[in-house]
């Protein structure tokens, strides 16, 4: 099996980020330090349930708020995933599931289409989870989808606890990504598109 790894660095006046992705790596080897406690937790879930090794380091202007760090990590991680996928030969491309997290239920459907877009209908009943703004879940997902070239649908079907809803979003993304990037041995040398390119 080819190595599906990539590293991306991104430095702006607001953040200094390094991201390494190994789509077939060991989640136990992940090392995540974003400077945003709740985002650390979500990325650990993404790694574990996505079956990938993530190394994420971010030094950002969290004295302002968590917005820039969250958005820019989504950008860098999306770029790293796209880079690790390469020409996308042999991948399953599509995946969807409804992910339960206690009372919360979130539908995640994605297509590694090369056409980035987030279609998001997730309502939170609180503005914050601890110190983390719940609106930043959408910000992260949009940055990731646009830069990874994912058509990503997230829809809340049930849920009242904001922490559970956010977890269902990230775990749903993780499980769908794990399926969509997995390789189909029957089509190992084919790009999964009638156009011949993704």
* Average pLDDT score, the chain: 96
Which domain does 78 fall in, by range?
5-187
Q: Is residue 192 part of a domain?
A: no
With the CA atoms of 110, 27, 135 and 69 taken in that order, what torsion angle do they form, in degrees rounded to the nearest 10?
-120
pLDDT tier, 195 (very low <50, low <70, confident <90, very high otherwise): confident
Residue 45 included in any domain = yes
156, pLDDT greater than 80 = yes
Quote the pLDDT of residue 109.
98
Q: Is residue 197 part of a domain?
A: no
The number of domains in the chain is 1
Evaluate whether residue 145 is within a structural domain.
yes
CATH number at residue 39: 3.30.230.40
Residue 188 has pLDDT above 80, yes or no: no
Position 160 in a domain? yes
DSSP string, 21-63: EETTS-GGG-EEE-S-HHHHHHHHHHHHHHT-EEEEEEEE-TT
pTM over 0.85: yes
Q: Helix, strand, coil proportions of the chain in percent (round to 5)?
A: 35, 30, 30
Mean per-residue pLDDT, 66-88: 97
State residue 1's pLDDT score: 56
Given this model, what pLDDT does residue 2 score? Answer: 73
pLDDT at 193: 73
**Other C-beta atoms lying within 10 Å of the C-beta of residue 157:** 14
């Amino acid at each position: 099996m080819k190595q599906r790894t990539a590293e991306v660095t991104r430095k702006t006046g607001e953040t200094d980020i390094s991201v390494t992705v190994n789509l077939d790596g060991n989640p136990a080897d992940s090392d995540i330090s974003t400077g945003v406690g709740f985002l650390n937790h979500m990325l650990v879930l993404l790694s574990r349930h996505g079956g990938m090794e993530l190394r994420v380091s971010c030094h950002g202007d969290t004295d302002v708020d968590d917005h820039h760090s969250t958005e820019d990590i989504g950008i860098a991680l999306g770029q790293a995933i796209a880079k690790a996928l390469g020409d996308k030969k042999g991948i399953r491309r599509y995946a969807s599931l409804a992910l339960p997290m206690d009372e919360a239920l979130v539908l995640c459907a994605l297509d590694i289409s090369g056409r980035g877009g987030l279609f998001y209908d997730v309502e939170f009943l609180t503005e914050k989870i601890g110190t983390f703004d719940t609106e930043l879940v959408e910000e992260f997902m949009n940055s990731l989808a646009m830069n990874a070239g994912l058509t990503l649908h997230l829809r809340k079907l049930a849920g009242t606890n904001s922490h559970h809803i956010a977890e269902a979003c990230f775990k749903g993304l993780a499980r769908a990504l794990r399926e969509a990037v997995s390789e189909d041995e029957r089509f190992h040398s084919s790009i999964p598109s009638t156009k011949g390119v993704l």
